Structure 1
Amino acid sequence: MGDKEQLMSDECLESSKNVVRKQPAAKVPWYFANGFLLFWGLLFFAVVIPRMYKLPQANTMEDAKKGVFIAERAYKNLYHLANIGPKVTGTEENEVQALNFILKELEAIKAASLQDLFDIEIEVAQSSGAWVRGTYLNMYQGVQNIVVKFSTKNSTSETYLLVNSHFDSGPGSPGAADAGCMVVTMLEVLRVMSTTRQRFDHPIIFLLNGGEELGLHGGHAFMTTHRYAKYCKAVINLEAAGSGGKEVLFQSGPRHAWLMKYYKKFAKHPLATAMAEEIYQSGIIPSNTDFTTFSKYMPGFDFAQFINGYVYHTKYDALDRIPRESLQNTGDNILSIVRGMANATELYDTAAYKSGTTVFFDFLGLTLVQYPLATAKNLNFGVAAAAVLLVFISMWRMSSMSEVTICNVIVRFILVLVLQLVSFVLSLALPVAVAYVFDMFGMSLTYYSTPWLMICLYVCPILCSASY
């Protein structure tokens, strides 16, 4: 019996020696995390940045018969308009020279239009008025607006589309971008549409107002005194807070989600973000556009150029900072959107289509993503709940696969969470401290003309905080 037990014991021992023990999986060294971050950084600079600054090829006069926006022709108009110099409301440059130049171009457009198909009415309207803005009374007298009504022959529609920009500029600024480039864009859109046999349902009001910079007077004058104002049911407002790049859709509606359907369908080079809308409407940015006035009466779009914002309202807002390709980008979008909106059935009764807010953003300038705010809330709550659930599952799994109790894991998790919160607070506080120091020495917005300085001044303190 003893020999038999000894034999079985020897066999078990021998068999155990032949069992191949499973080796634990090799872990990736920690320093490979830097490579992971580097990959995404390179992807950002290789794809996102180039897409952001990519502009379409500018059309020339050779393309004029194609019924497309011609950047070369718009650029010639901008050359003459910008060379007038600063066009402050009330000065000869604004009230006479700029006004006469635009009227001359409009008369040429009318003469060359398909008069058997379209009607063009040109009018200079002078208005005076007042309105309360914040804590003070805003008054104006003799503000001049150029109002152009463009419609198909025998149109019976009593709902109009309003397209607006301003030809006055800030003191000391030639206003090539703000908003000369938008004025010449409107002129070219009118020229192309009036020479193309493509009908549309709703008359279009092109409002070139001469009083925006000193208090939004031109837009207010039109909406409160002009006979066409009551027929306008949607607006496309064109502005600039930069120069020489793409225009961004930074406000829509308000509370008219159907508008984004038209932007998605007709914008050839989409660039839009609801984040800009939230920031702008929060009041953080101490600025307004004519859209502030128009949105009290009708829904619409608010577009603006924003790249190279350091030239805004300065003597550097000149023609040489605006490439033809930038005009082509804006012109392609506005021409297509105006054509689409001028046939929108919603314009017959916009009140019936009033709905909630929509979340929107473009994807690399290729397409637009949009969904209702209610959907966004559900997505956010769903992702947050899933994240919390995954955290607890991970803690339970860590406890079950080790000798550490679940309570110990939770304590360590809370400690790490506290450290993360401290890092987050520091990542906000340190850049604010840097900005405060620069403000003290009169060096505010030091990075504005050299954006790469933001990495050293603000990104580095954030990274130091994150490594805490």
Structure 2
Amino acid sequence: MRPKSHISSAASFLVLIAMIWYAFHSQTPSSDVKDNLPETEWSTARALEHVKAMSLKPHYVGSNAHNEVRDYVIDELKKMGLSVTTQKGYDISWNANMSQPENILARIKGSEPGNKALILLTHYDSDPHSSKGASDAGSGVATILEGVRAFLAANKTPKNDIIICITDGEELGLNGASLFVNKHPWAKNIGFVLNFEARGSGGPSYVLVETNGGNRKIMEEFMAAGTDYPVANSLAYSIYQMIPNDTDLTIFREDGDINGLNFAFIGDHFDYHTELDSYERLDRNTLAHQGSYLMPLLNHFSDLDMTDRVMVAQGDDLVYFPLPIVKMVSFPFSWLAAMIIVSGIFLLFLIILGIRKRRITAKHLFGGFIPFLGSLVIGFLLSKYGWEGIRSGSFYIDQLHGFPYNGYWLLAASAFAAVTICFFLYHKYYHRDRIASLSVAPLILLWVISVAIAFPVGDGGLIPDVYLGGAGFFLIPLFAGLIMLWLNIYQKRPSYILLLLLAVPAIFVFAPFIKAFPVALGMSILFVAAVLSTLLFGLLIPILGHYRKKGLLAFGSLLVTIVCLCFAFAKAEFSQTQPKPTSLIYVQNQDNQTAQWATYDRALSDWTKEKLGEKPQLAKELNANSIDSKYGTGFTYAAKTIYQDLPEVALELVGDSTVNDLRTVRFKISSVSDVHRYEVFADSKYQFEKAMVNGLEIEPSGKSKKPFANRWGNRFLSYYVKENAPLELELTFNADTEPEIIIYAASFDLLEQEQFNVSQRPLDQMSMPFVLNDAVLRKRTVKLSRDFKQPNDDVTYELVEPNAE
């Protein structure tokens, strides 16, 4: 028989390329923003109007813009005829981030008032200090506002009440969600939550399950709702359960035992929590994707009997993943063991069958591991150490997101480099009679992976620490691959059409992960793009193996790799659309009247050098007490400067008493000038028996079961201030100790205060996210000395401060 023709091979190759492209493109709706849609339909154009109105400037808790956004949301809900209330109160998170959130609440009454309610959830605060919050989470607010408007326009009365809960203080410590779940009466009768979030400004929105039980009932109802673009898979569910969760929905699950679904997009992660999180940069496809989730789910869950709170027993889970046309494929976790065993037996049977039919030889079967494992190892090494080699460059080290501006080009280069290696090595091993033999190695590896991470044993897997039962859908491409192997055993020239149909599971399962994993988890796992590209290539060997021009394809893939690298390095420079993150803080020690300029920058810009000079000192002393930051980032450099005449951080004793060898000191910290955040430190050796902050009692925590036991670098409290309200601490401790309390008062107005003479930040720079920035930081220290006298009606007492050094 003649080998397959060049024309049919070329046609099948183009179809493969189209399928891989479609695996990415089909995840979100069209970007076309249509005007004049019927009032009963969700409109991207109308939702964008809300995003634009709410993202004009940063609106972190305590800012004037924050109040403006709150009022805007309230007004929009009132325009729909809803009665709107707010819930305000102090809350403190597990890691001692405290604020006074003000949640926005409204309720659509259902026809059956005794039913459990559906809650639509997102937050309206942006991250301090520079984020405009268009995506995070202006997109969520806009999605809900437009969805509720369209729902009400349909004049449909739901069976269940629908609660609209737009929380506050999410960025600080999920404070608004905690306040609602633990203190609002509506929280006692909630059946399910739909939460809309963002961790970037584009890309598909992923469905993540939050439950204390199993996922079966939730996913059954999700699939019954009939969403058009479901980007949901059980591997993400398994991974999400293993990592620390930090969305508002987590509070509903942990504190209220309430199930729900998160809808969160992570693309363009470099925009996250920056001034680039703007109306202009929000991907219209992505916003439309959020709307495509909300409307069918709102209609479905608002009429669903949620008496059981959509809850099933823990371990009652489904494996699920999306496929074109059928949308979602699912099967129970309980099938995994049998499916893995059957696939292993089937694989062994086909190997024996192939050997008996002389379509597989032991020599070429084992030889097939050389190009496959060789491609895996070389691709892994090139990607891992290639990234290690460039990540310390000045373009990368201050991009704290872990995914740089040119990340997509580097990701593409990694994937195409792996494909180049695959084509080259398989070209060396090509023979038209070896295709079945060469197809075995990838199938064996995929089967071993499935056994290692998805084979259930008791409450876990063979390797408990890496048990990911949600990855069980890898078995579907495995079974499809086994059928392709069978076809290549029985036929020298199996139909390309049939092989391409059987390639669908491998492409639609693995291709999206090539992009998703490095974007979600950072460029430190860039090698995953190479590894998954090689695995996908191996699973397609039953098709690609028939191509006789693999050397030419290797050369073409190499050219694409080089082009991607050229674009990656061409984009590795800062510009107005890719601004360099920079930071500047004025630190004033009011104890000894000294001052310093400080920065978090590792690669100093000319702008920061204006204040720090060409040769600043390392900021070791300032990092003795680490100011709270998302990634534990510390100051890098500091330089002494003029001590400016700034208002003092005032310390006032309110009360001091001793009972049963326990001393209670109550004091107030305030400032006549604006403060946006207080940071309070005490050496971890000082343990408090009881603590109250602004009247809020602090719950015991940690191994010691005492207040503020979970300290990070001696920091025991971060308080985000509204309307310059004072901080009042009441601390109870052993009377034999004299704790020293260090207070930092930060205001985010450095660039507005003329006395500091800070020049305007260049257009190719932006305020560095995740750290305290553009701030004036004033420090005070107080020792709770035994020299205090008991307060009485005739004497006013002040705290005894340490001597200035």
- For the superposition of Structure 1 and Structure 2, which TM-score range results when normalised by the shorter chain? 0.7 to 0.9
1:368-395 per-residue CA deviation (whole Å, 9 max, x = no partner) reads: 2222222344334322321222123223
Question: Which amino acid in 1 is paired with 2:69?
Answer: A
Residue 453 (1) aligns with residue 417 (2): no
Contact 1:148–1:207 under 8 Å retained in 2? yes
Whether the 8 Å CA contact 2:118–2:190 is kept in 1: the answer is yes
Do residues 105 (structure 1) and 80 (structure 2) align? no
Give the deviation of 1:45 after TM superposition: 5.0
Partner of 1:372: 332
Query: Is residue 434–residue 458 contact of structure 1 (8 Å, CA) maintained in 2?
Result: no
Q: Report what 2:549 is aligned to.
A: none
Residue of structure 1 equivalent to 2:240: 280
Q: Offset of 1:223 from its aligned partner? A: 1.3
Matched, 1:78 2:38: no
Tell whether the 8 Å contact from 1:447 to 1:454 is kept in structure 2 after alignment.
no
Which of the numbers 202, 207, 217 marks the counterpart of 1:258? 217
Give the 3-state SS of the residue equivalent to 1:228 in structure 2: helix
Structure 2 residue 294 is the aligned partner of structure 1 residue 330:
no
- 1:220 aligns with one of 178, 202, 212: 178
The residue matched to 1:201 in structure 2 has which SS? coil
The one-letter code of the counterpart of 1:126 is: K
With over 3 angstroms needed to count, the CA separation of the structure-2 counterparts of 1:378 and 1:312, relative to structure 1, is farther
Letter in 1 for 2:121: N
Q: Verify: 1:92 aligned to 2:54, yes or no.
A: no
Of 425, 438, 441 in structure 1, the residue corresponding to residue 390 of structure 2 is 438
Q: Deviation string for 1:315-340 (max 9, x for gaps)?
A: 21111123655434422320220121
User: Match for 1:358 among 318, 329, 338?
Assistant: 318
For 1:87, the aligned partner's letter is H
- Does the CA-based 8 Å contact 1:346-1:353 persist in structure 2? no
Matches within 5 A, 1:143-182: 143-152=101-110, 155-170=112-127, 171-182=129-140
Of 401, 424, 427, 2:379 maps to 427
Selected match of 2:89 from 127, 138, 141: 127
In structure 1, C-alpha distance between the alignment counterparts of 2:29 and 2:288, rounded to whole Å: 12
Between the aligned partners of 1:415 and 1:352, the Cα distance in structure 2 is 48
For residue 164 of structure 1, what is the amino acid of its counterpart? L
Distance 1:459 1:449 in 2: 16
Q: Which residue of 2 aligns with 1:55?
A: 30
- 1:197 aligned to 2:155? yes
Judged with a 3 Å threshold, the aligned counterparts in structure 2 of structure 1 residues 39 and 391 are, in CA distance, closer, same or farther, namely farther
> Greater CA deviation, 390-399 or 347-356?
347-356
Other-structure match for 2:733: none
Distance 1:295 1:365 in 2: 33
1:383 to 338, 343, 346: 343
8 A Cα contact 2:99 2:172, kept in partner: no
Kept after mapping to 1: 8 A contact 2:210/2:253: no
User: How far does residue 458 in structure 1 lie from its aligned partner after superposition?
Assistant: 4.9
Supply the distance in 1 between the matched residues of 2:99 and 2:409 (Cα, whole angstroms).
45
1:230 maps to which of 183, 188, 195: 188
SS of 1:52 mapped into structure 2? coil
Q: Provide the TM-score with structure 2 as the length reference.
A: 0.47
What CA distance in whole angstroms lies between the structure 2 residues aligned with 1:246 and 1:458?
20
How many aligned positions are there? Answer: 415
With over 3 angstroms needed to count, the CA separation of the structure-2 counterparts of 1:166 and 1:379, relative to structure 1, is same
Cα displacement string for residues 8-50 of structure 1 (whole angstroms, at most 9, x for unaligned residues):
xxxxxxxxxxxxxxxxx34459x99984883354223553343
CA 351–247 in structure 1, closer or farther in 2 if over 3 Å, else same: closer
- Does the CA contact (< 8 Å) of 1:257 and 1:355 recur in 2? no
Contact 2:125 2:169 in 1 (8 A): yes
Q: Distance in 2 between matches of 1:430 and 1:32?
A: 34
Instruction: Point out the structure with the larger helix share.
Output: 1
Q: Which runs of 5+ in 1 are unaligned?
A: 1-24, 111-119, 402-408
Q: Take 1:319 and 1:93, find their aligned partners in 2: how far apart are those partners?
A: 16
Q: Partner residue of 1:316? A: 276
Question: How do 1:25-44 residues align onto structure 2 when only pairs under 5 Å count?
Answer: 25-27=1-3, 35=10, 38-44=13-19
- 2: CA distance, partners of 1:454 / 1:58: 29
Q: How many Å separate the matches in 1 of 2:125 and 2:305?
A: 34
Shift of 1:57: 5.0
Cα 1:278–1:353 shift into 2, 3 Å: closer
Higher RCO (C-alpha 8 Å, min separation 6): 1
Amino acid at match of 2:126: S
Calculate the TM-score normalised by the size of structure 1.
Answer: 0.78
Counterpart residue type for residue 30 of structure 2: L
Alpha-carbon distance in 1 for matches of 2:424, 2:70:
58
* Inter-partner Cα distance in structure 1 for 2:77 and 2:7: 63
Partner of 1:405: none
AA aligned opposite 2:106: V
Output the CA distance in 2 between the equivalents of 1:352 and 1:276.
19
Aligned positions of 1:1-40 closer than 5 A: 25-27=1-3, 35=10, 38-40=13-15
* 1:204, distance to aligned residue in structure 2 (A): 1.6
Shift of 1:352: 5.6
In 1: Cα distance, 2:122 partner to 2:200 partner: 15
Tell me how far apart the structure 2 counterparts of residues 355 and 446 of structure 1 sit (CA, whole Å): 34
Instruction: Tell me the secondary structure at the aligned position of residue 359 of structure 1.
Output: strand
- CA contact under 8 A between 2:214 and 2:311: conserved in structure 1? no
Write the distance in 2 (CA, Å) between the matches of 1:230 and 1:124.
Answer: 17
- 1:183 paired residue number: 141
Secondary structure, aligned partner of 2:96: strand
Deviations 1:280-306 (A, max 9, x none): 3333xx763223222322111110123
Cα 1:101–1:28 change in 2 (3 A) is closer
Shift of 1:180: 0.3
Secondary structure in structure 1 of the residue aligned to 2:62: coil
> Cα–Cα, structure 1 residues 294 and 210, in superposed 2: closer, same or farther, change >3 Å?
same
Q: Is the 8 A contact 1:243 1:305 kept in 2?
A: yes
Output aligned runs, 1:239-250, within 5 Å: 239-250=197-208
CA contact (8 A) 1:69 1:192 kept: yes
Larger mean Cα displacement after TM superposition, 235-244 or 415-424 = 415-424
CA contact (8 A) 2:126 2:133 kept: yes
How far apart in 2 are the matches of 1:294 and 1:172? 28
Distance in 2 (CA, whole Å) between partners of 1:323 and 1:131 is 32
Give the AA of the match of 1:82: S
Q: For each residue in 1:438-458, what CA deviation from the matched residue of structure 2 results, as whole angstroms up to 9, or x when unmatched?
A: 223353757654623323245
Q: Distance in 2 between matches of 1:324 and 1:36?
A: 33
